[in-house]
Structure 1
Amino acid sequence: MSEMINNREYRQKVLKELIRELHNGKSVDEVKPKFEELIKGISVSEIAEMEQALIMEGMPVEEVQRLCDVHAAVFKGSIEEIHRQKNPEEVPGHPVHSFKLENVEIKKLVENEIKPQLERYKNGDTTVSLKDLEGAFKKLWEIDKHYSRKENLLFPYLEKYGITAPPKVMWGVDDEIREGIKEVNKILLSNDENKGMLLEKAEETLNKVVEMIFKEEKILFPMALETLTEDEWVEISRASNEIGYCLITPGGEWKPARADVAEKIQKEGIQPSENKGYVEFDAGCLTPEEINAMLNTLPIDITFVDKDGAVKYFTQGKERIFARPKTIIGRQVQNCHPPASVHIVEKIVEDLKSGKKDHEDFWIKMGEKYVYIRYFAVRNEKGEYLGVMEVTQDIGPIQKISGEKRLLSDD
């Protein structure tokens, strides 16, 4: 059985069966054991990929959405933890930290204020004011800001990495919650009080709110933290203020830790050349302007990471293969990659730094480009490690070369 469970095609087949069983009326408790066995030992991302594949095959989002309640019932303790060396989501101001703070306040509002009032109202307590309930549900409508930031800031980045199924499913549930709050408010505002309808719609909506908190914190946020880069979290953080927050004020502006390269250079005792602005090399000397222009003219991308792991420099040629904002200068190289690939970066640096390897090469297809990526250990004449140089080039045009060219081109 375990061999079959490790087979992705088998998992896809079982997922389809589970969705079909739910569609045909089986309860969450009835399908839960099979789902629990299916996902044993796999990550959140793989489950998301499986659901994504079902949608790509043509299964309606609404059908995949039936799994949401099964997720919530099973995920506690059934998915292996994703271990990260750092927990940026614990830093005040980080988007996930703000999302979680909001969830705490949302849950307080639901569990400590709204549900107790509804329970007393249900039991015929005449001291319960519908005006108070109306005010509480108006306060709950603040959740729209929480969902809007999630949908308009976080989801687009996930979709960039091909993760579209979970956002679609979750957005659908968000809209159901919004609609539920609107309907409750409409009943509360109407003169024709319908106690049964009010209680039914309110309880249904509040349960979805609480379930969504669980799904976000156990599924969505871990998946996003595993996937997004630090720069992408910075962009989400900057754009969040435009939409606003739900029931909280964020705990300050989140800024990722990064080295001040200019200050670092001074501390290392490196001073600008006093030779009339020239920089002396083993063979000749050049001005900084000449050096910068030469490096940016090369038909390759070069990035240099110093011995402490800080990004210190990258070229800015006309045709870039990988876009790099200047904000990466001074950052630790691990933070420039999605967490899911950090272990590869760390292994490369470790092998080059230790002397186990002098270089490591990769080649990948990127659309029409055939990209050759090389990592070199940079050492001084004494053999001391100075850092890593990454050289990236589109070798597709080079591979197409044949014969000889001895004449000048006309243009």
Structure 2
Amino acid sequence: MSEHFMIDKDKQQKLQNIILKLHQGASVAEVKKEFATLIQGVSAAEVAQMEQALIDNGMPVEEIQHLCEVHVEVFKASLDKEKISSKVPGHPVQTMLDENKAARARLRALKKAVLAWRFGLGQKEQVLAALDDMSKIIVHYTRKENQLFPYLEKKEFTGPSRVMWGKHDEIRALFKEAHSKVEQNDKSAISSLHPLAGKISRMIFMEEHILIPEAVRRLSDEEWAHIRIGEDAIGFAWIRPGAVYDPYLVLAGAVTAKPQPAAAIPESTAIPAVGATHHASPVPASDLVELATGKVPAGLLSAALATMPVDISIVDAQDKVVYYSDSPDRIFPRSPAVIGRAVQNCHPQKSVATVNRILDAFRKKEKTRARFWLEMGGRFILIEYRALYDAAGAYIGTLEFSQDLTELRTLQGQRRLLDWD
């Protein structure tokens, strides 16, 4: 388990006061002098605890999100002195650091392409190529949101997931805006590209000097192993993790066989070929899931749910995610760390009020369905929430499902015969 640490309460209060002055409109220059008296020995832990305390005491997350880059500027001198201990290749921390190193190189390439385009020495296609390459960092952010943040939330450290996710979305929006303008050969895109590069650079700094040190301090070796096991479900930006770090070895204490995917169908439940005689032993009763209209082998049910042409998530009455369908073609990424996570934390902060409104209406039976649709990457996506009630009518949870309707919207006429050509 990570080493316990103590924070000077008096210094913590003074740090909070400085940030509160910033939130009340003071400039960075105005607080720097006051901060100079506290700069000696300030750690990433104190910065992180300060922001977490502000959230816990009721400060809107949006305010901290709006000014967290100012916080970085204020604390940069002291945080620059902190070093992250290197990890073996494949450890989630080392993977994040390797991706950040790759991101810095892409940032330099993007800035070079933009400069050449600005002065007529390059083409928009070069900027688009550099921008598309740089946008792979979104996978890095998505992995943080779905794998690292849930484990920090279990430690009641919710600041990163609430604040950083908002900053990720700002970067996503700038990517979209810049790409659209560059495609149109609109050089006003440069006004989007400069803040984009700045936000990415500051996010790298916040990760390496605040988020990662705090995560290393708070999470155990076993928790890092579970994080690594779930990372492949999300993917990686530019690099592949090294193979030196073995999470299964960490968890087992010895080399063990890696478990089969949950969706694998046990041999006893496999469907025989047409015309074949099935001699497999009956499925043990303990392996059957009893449903309202039948009993299904657990492996068969899991495979069926994962094969459905929709993304499924189930949230219980306590707003905890208890299931998601692990389809290889998911529209929105999910990983094992989401299980047991508050559904509110599975959405960016700007969407939490809407999530709570839906759940509250479901509980009160004011509504039983909420439906949204959007266009994403040229695809038409339907997202729907359905309230779940037991036989007595009591609210027991919510079903969320998403479906890509792009091809279905083009269907016309009818097809009544099998056509596999």
**Structure 1 equivalent of residue 112 of structure 2:** 116
What CA deviation, in whole Å up to 9, does each residue of 1:376-411 have, x standing for no partner? xxxxxxxxxxxxxxxxxxxxxxxxxxxxxxxxxxxx
**Structure 1 equivalent of residue 93 of structure 2:** 96
Greater RCO (Cα-Cα under 8 Å, separation 6 or more)? 2
Distance in 2 separating the partners of 1:174 and 1:37: 33
CA contact (8 A) 1:39 1:47 kept: no
**Structure 1 equivalent of residue 206 of structure 2:** 215
**1:107 paired to 2:98:** no
Distance in 2 separating the partners of 1:259 and 1:205: 40
Question: What's the CA shift for 1:139?
Answer: 1.3
Matched ranges for 1:51-200 at <5 A? 51-65=51-65, 66-78=67-79, 81=82, 87=85, 89-111=86-108, 113-122=109-118, 124=119, 126-190=120-184, 193-195=185-187, 197-200=188-191
**1:37 paired to 2:28:** no
- CA distance 1:252–1:78, change in 2 (3 Å): closer
Question: What's the CA shift for 1:128?
Answer: 0.8
- CA distance 1:204–1:259, change in 2 (3 Å): closer
Question: In structure 1, the residue corresponding to 2:230 is in which secondary structure?
Answer: helix
Q: TM-score, normalised by structure 2?
A: 0.53
Question: What's the CA shift for 1:42?
Answer: 4.2
Unaligned runs of 5+ in 2: 1-6, 256-421
- CA distance 1:51–1:212, change in 2 (3 Å): same
CA contact (8 A) 2:98 2:239 kept: yes
Distance in 1 separating the partners of 2:27 and 2:241: 39
**Structure 2 equivalent of residue 206 of structure 1:** 197
- CA distance 1:148–1:78, change in 2 (3 Å): closer
What CA deviation, in whole Å up to 9, does each residue of 1:50-86 have, x standing for no partner? 2212112211112223143332452344588589xxx
- CA distance 1:262–1:59, change in 2 (3 Å): closer
- CA distance 1:11–1:262, change in 2 (3 Å): closer
**Structure 1 equivalent of residue 396 of structure 2:** none
> In the alignment, residue 21 of structure 1 is paired with which amino acid?
L
Distance in 2 separating the partners of 1:174 and 1:248: 20
**1:236 paired to 2:227:** yes
Question: What's the CA shift for 1:117?
Answer: 1.8
- CA distance 1:39–1:76, change in 2 (3 Å): closer
Distance in 1 separating the partners of 2:8 and 2:88: 38
> In the alignment, residue 196 of structure 2 is paired with which amino acid?
T
Distance in 1 separating the partners of 2:162 and 2:152: 11
What CA deviation, in whole Å up to 9, does each residue of 1:296-338 have, x standing for no partner? xxxxxxxxxxxxxxxxxxxxxxxxxxxxxxxxxxxxxxxxxxx
- CA distance 1:76–1:91, change in 2 (3 Å): farther
Distance in 1 separating the partners of 2:253 and 2:19: 54
Question: What's the CA shift for 1:261?
Answer: 7.7
Q: TM-score, normalised by structure 1?
A: 0.54
What CA deviation, in whole Å up to 9, does each residue of 1:221-243 have, x standing for no partner? 11111110111111111111111
> In the alignment, residue 182 of structure 1 is paired with which amino acid?
K
Question: What's the CA shift for 1:104?
Answer: 0.7
Question: In structure 1, the residue corresponding to 2:41 is in which secondary structure?
Answer: coil
CA contact (8 A) 1:95 1:233 kept: yes
- CA distance 1:137–1:258, change in 2 (3 Å): closer
CA contact (8 A) 2:177 2:192 kept: yes
- Cα RMSD after superposing both structures: 2.8
- CA distance 1:76–1:93, change in 2 (3 Å): farther
What CA deviation, in whole Å up to 9, does each residue of 1:28-61 have, x standing for no partner? 3432343353453243223322221211221111
Question: In structure 2, the residue corresponding to 1:247 is in which secondary structure?
Answer: coil
Distance in 2 separating the partners of 1:233 and 1:116: 37
Matched ranges for 1:360-371 at <5 A? none
Question: What's the CA shift for 1:13?
Answer: 5.5
Distance in 2 separating the partners of 1:116 and 1:56: 43
CA contact (8 A) 1:72 1:211 kept: no
What CA deviation, in whole Å up to 9, does each residue of 1:169-190 have, x standing for no partner? 1111111111111110111223
Structure with max Cα Rg: 1
